[in-house]
Chain A
């Protein structure tokens, strides 16, 4: 199996595929170009990105590309499915707590002062956003700004894998741990996917054997920074506008689509053990999840635990 590594979307990207080397080279190049073009479209850290233009244009209808319209539409759908636990309009809160530049830069420099974090930001409800499906236009209410970071990364990984699959029967795209797998490697019954210890970078808790689809982990221990003396992380609880206080350190979701996995990994991490099953039931889509707590115990959804070897219907997003 051939692999290509490069850096994009402020994370390490791995492309892996089986097939004829010449075909793979072209497939890798196409996938890489797509990822880089998508980063330029969806990054909130680039003034020239389409997302930045959308945010600047809040208050008036914005003609969107099919890609941006698709991801924003998915976001609206997931906002309702998670009853607001997934909410891309938390960007003003994310900036307020210091995540106002890319993580690479944030770790080098000083984030916004702590005093700013005391000042609440008024932001309109994401439910107020309007979509014009026929005209592919988006209307953000004034003062709304979107961060599509996670969901866009998952969607990009899946689309890049689909591109790569035109050149390979078995391929994978891993974007900083958010991955989409197509086919199975020759002679293998599943893809080996290691689950990293959220408390010790580089150490592996266990290895999952995963069939084609999406695997996404959301964590509160990876994208962290200091704001004054306070340790902050990137997972904002939309109900409070503050970094979520979570019982779990990370949640891994296996789902048919990367956007689904990305969204529910975040929602379950915010919801925690008390509400996780409710979130899963309300979501109206089936997926499996694992959560790791501070004692490195692994939790999972009861239904899967009780129904080992029982097949269940998967609903597509």
Chain B
């Protein structure tokens, strides 16, 4: 009777441990829940409240300098796709 009891104890202990570890591994590799958006808590980066026309000017990268100019605009600035002017195609950067 005693060997049976001992075997039973070992079996229960092993099964519990393995189930616990199995659950741990599953949870560790499951996709993480989407976290709420955090913003405006960082002082090192300025959120621009507007969608300004932003100009990046330089004398060309060949001479190793860059200069940019930012003009704040208090109005939302979502525009329809504007027409290119003077034959220059309007290039659009949209992400890939």
Contacts and interface: CB of A to CB of B under 8 A. Distances in A.
B91 to A, nearest CB: 5
Contact of B48 (A1, A218, A300): A300
Interface stretch (A51-59, A81-89, A305-313): A305-313
Given A150-B96, A192-B84, A206 B91 contact: no
Contact of B52 (A185, A200, A298, A314): A298
A43 B51 CA distance: 36
Q: Size band of the B side of the interface? A: 35 or more
A186 to B, nearest CB: 9
Interface in A160-213: 172, 174, 176-179, 181, 185, 187-198, 200-213
Given A14-B91, A194-B91, A308-B69, A222 B58 contact: no
Contacts of A196: 92-95
Contacts of B94: 176-177, 195-196, 198, 201, 217, 219, 222, 250
A40 interface: no
B65 A206 contact: no
Nearest to A278: B44
B70 interface: yes
B78 A208 contact: no
Interface stretch (A105-113, A130-138, A139-147, A286-294): A286-294
A120 B78 contact: no
Interface of B: 26, 28-32, 34-35, 37-39, 41-42, 44-62, 64-70, 76-82, 84-96
Interface of A: 1, 3, 11, 14, 16, 117-120, 150, 153, 172, 174, 176-179, 181, 185, 187-198, 200-213, 215-219, 221-223, 230, 240, 242, 245, 247, 250, 252, 254, 256, 273-274, 276-277, 286, 288, 290, 293-294, 296-302, 304-305, 308-314, 316
29 contacts: A11-B96, A177-B96, A181-B91, A185-B87, A189-B57, A192-B88, A193-B90, A203-B80, A203-B81, A204-B92, A205-B51, A206-B54, A208-B54, A209-B53, A215-B93, A217-B96, A223-B96, A242-B31, A252-B93, A256-B61, A274-B41, A293-B39, A297-B39, A299-B47, A299-B48, A300-B70, A302-B46, A308-B69, A312-B67
